[in-house]
Structure 1
Amino acid sequence: MCNNVFAKPKFTGGRFTEHTLPVSVAGDLAAYEALLIDVAKHLYLADHPERQRVPKGFADVHLDIAHIEDGSTISVLKLVMAVAITSQLSLFGEAIDQRGYFVRARDLIAECIDSPADSLPANFPKGALTHFNHLGRSLRADETLELGRVNNAQPAILTSEKRRELVLAASAVYEREVELSGYIEEIDAHKSSLRLRLDADTTAIVSMPNDFLEQARLSLGNTRDRVFVQGIAQYNSHEILQKIISYDSIEIIKNYELVICFDMLSQIDDGWFEGGGKTPNNTDLQDIAQIMIQFYPEKLPLPSIVPTQDGNLLFEWQTENMPSVDIDLASKTASFHAFGEHDLDIERDFYLTNSENIDEFFAFLSQHIQELQA
């Protein structure tokens, strides 16, 4: 086997400062290998126009990671070719510099990345540009993948934007990793898919696992429940979503705005109010958060939730009669107050300690806050 160092792809950016290689970038190296093989085959056929295909065994090569070097994250790759196959390429009087074609392919790929998308090397196969749908897909905005010759002082630098340009040079669409969120607008149980409303102008069809259907039905049409999808999506040159190709994860977060609100409350420190103000007890806060997120009525308007200086919470609804609820976290007591008619205040206390109390509390809120809004 040939064990010389073939290439040293270098990843730079925040995830690589510890000089380790995240598993998520392994797909980039696999894509580089596939691109390398395609370009090497193209170069051989360009040199041998009389042939329709490369010799048997020509593409039977692979890249191995020999080790990881420091300096952000540098993967030292070796080009491995089976000795038996290399010998076959010299049979019948045809001597082929198999490794030479892969070296040329490596350098041509680097040249392609270095070139403007509208002025690519003439000998680079345009069809191979689709490989950039995969090569560099894991790169985030602050990350790069440097490719080039071993010991080349000026390697080619691939960014997420550059790979987009390269794909669009050969296609009307390109693919990238996404994290999308929206609410469920429609479910197609027959096709095991749902339609997400991402914003006012954009929807997306997402396939879903069979065990996700019942959960999806519970959130159908509820704009407060957010579906989060991580996967691969297709976009056009105007950055308009075309479709979701595949997903790695899909989950529903019930009452997402409340989740965010309670998460922010859990992060405040003592002294948050002009040097005073106690931090809410985290265990007690999470108990109340779970009640609110799980049981808050869909048709009841969301309150603003603010911490009080004594380490508790105040819920407020911005209506004419200003209904509010003081929550004592330790005792799980909810004290409702609103300004009623004829100078008669509406007041009532609830203990949020069991399901019956909780149902009574939310039924009371649904009745009185809606009445006060009318």
Structure 2
Amino acid sequence: MTEPAPFVELRMKGQRFDHPGMPVEALSELVAYRELLVEVAKALFLRNNPGRQRVPKGFVERLRLRLRRVDEGSALPVLERLDTDAEGFFPREDEFVVARRLIEAAISSVASEDTLPSDFPEDVVGYFNRFGRSLLPGDSIELREPGHERGAVYTANVRRRLLLSRSSTYRVNANLLGRIVEIDAEDSAFNLRTLTNNVVRCHFESELFPFIRNALLPDGAGPAVRVSGEAVLDRIDKVVRMEVTEAGYADEADEASDTLDFDGDAEGIPPQRTFRAIPRQSDPAAKVNRRIDELESLGPGWLDGEGEPPAQEVLAHLRQLALVLAAPTHPPVRIYPTPEGGVQLEWTNGTHEYSIEVHADLSAYVVQVDTATDDLRERLYKSLNEESLTNILLGGVTV
């Protein structure tokens, strides 16, 4: 196996990225970029092999990316690709290399000419919904091929135009203010009447039902609430619907302001009442730490009279990883206690199911299962640190 080679640099600029290390927003963008890269590569393979209905087994595993470093200043994650070719020929012009260039070409073309390149696979344009979702006006991600001084510059406005070139809607992370006026428990949804009298259909996670039920009063007279999640916007930037992941009562500052929390109409995005970007100073790890607090409250016998409470060393270790665990992957990482005093992390990425069991001695047993092929990979780590967890989120379990 040859030495790892730089594959791509993603230069992230913006207020949230201008400090050492890698903020959670940057991590989520790396995960989304890899997913986009894989889907474009799959589409290219099927286009070049018209007789096939799916890519061959092991195709996705050929793309093994690892975070080489994060340069200081604006976040500059440098991804290297590990060679999986036993012959050692690397780099090579395979579908993943072509996909990387096509993605850069699509961003540059939309930014300059407002059109997609004719050879870009239209069926995967929707995957740009995940890549760049954290970008605010003034932020950018420059995709730079190693050895090149400049690359394609991806902004919130370029992302919006790119998605609307093939769809009537696009998605962003957002907060919304209003009052709950109706609940559809069977559909796990509620209607939120915003402060400007617009009714938005909101789907929610089951754990939020008690709060939502308590916030509903006759005639929409309940308290003002603030919900966070993924908003779907139309061509005039009106919120059409929302997938809610967090909810709480609005405070006085929220109710006093119902304008878009952007700097005017930056990059051509018009102001929109009642729709607000997630505040830059919010704590992205708050939800993870609340879950850890719940685990910390467990006593002996929490599982039907049995079960050891999670070891304090494990919980303290998870708090150190909270920013990584809080990355807005879809769906988010789920955290459960184990009867032996450890903690289990679970999430899904496409057809892959992931499970990480963190033991009391801080060792970690990782399992990756492809539900489409039944392929199983497993690995034992002496300790799960930020780098190893990041690489698992980016590329899965490597042997």
Q: TM-score range by the shorter chain?
A: 0.5 to 0.7
Partner Cα distance (1:182, 1:232) in 2: 16
Q: Please state whether the residue corresponding to 2:58 is helix, strand or coil.
A: coil
Q: Please state whether the residue corresponding to 2:181 is helix, strand or coil.
A: strand
Distance 1:215 1:58, change over 3 A: same
Partner Cα distance (1:104, 1:14) in 2: 32
Q: TM-score, length-normalised on structure 2?
A: 0.56
Partner of 2:247: 250
Q: How does 1:199-210 map to 2 (within 5 A)?
A: 199-208=195-204, 209-210=208-209
2:13 aligned with 1:12: yes
Shift of 1:78: 1.4
Q: Please state whether the residue corresponding to 1:29 is helix, strand or coil.
A: helix
Partner Cα distance (1:213, 1:48) in 2: 50
Letter of the 1:123 counterpart: D
Partner Cα distance (2:157, 2:59) in 1: 33
Q: C-alpha offsets along residues 216-249 of structure 1, whole Å, 9 cap, x if unaligned?
A: 13697237x32111110111112122211x2231
Partner of 1:352: none
Shift of 1:185: 2.3
Question: Alpha carbon RMSD of aligned pairs, Å?
Answer: 3.0
Identity %: 32
Which structure has the higher relative contact order (CA within 8 Å, separation 6+)?
A: 2
Letter of the 2:138 counterpart: D
Partner Cα distance (2:69, 2:15) in 1: 21
Shift of 1:159: 0.6
Partner Cα distance (2:254, 2:218) in 1: 15
Q: 2:148 aligns with which of 143, 146, 152?
A: 152
Preserved CA contact (<8 Å) 1:196 1:204: yes
How many residue pairs get aligned? The number is: 250
2:176 aligned with 1:180: yes
Preserved CA contact (<8 Å) 1:189 1:213: no
Q: How does 1:28-107 map to 2 (within 5 A)?
A: 28-60=29-61, 61-83=63-85, 100-107=94-101
Partner of 1:276: none
Unaligned runs of 5+ in 1: 88-94, 262-374
Shift of 1:11: 0.7
Unaligned runs of 5+ in 2: 258-399
Q: 2:230 aligns with which of 229, 232, 252?
A: 232
Partner Cα distance (2:107, 2:254) in 1: 45
Partner of 1:324: none
Distance 1:102 1:198, change over 3 A: same
Preserved CA contact (<8 Å) 1:184 1:219: no
Partner of 1:166: 162
Letter of the 2:210 counterpart: D
Preserved CA contact (<8 Å) 1:107 1:148: no
Preserved CA contact (<8 Å) 2:116 2:162: no
Q: Please state whether the residue corresponding to 2:171 is helix, strand or coil.
A: strand
Partner of 2:220: 221
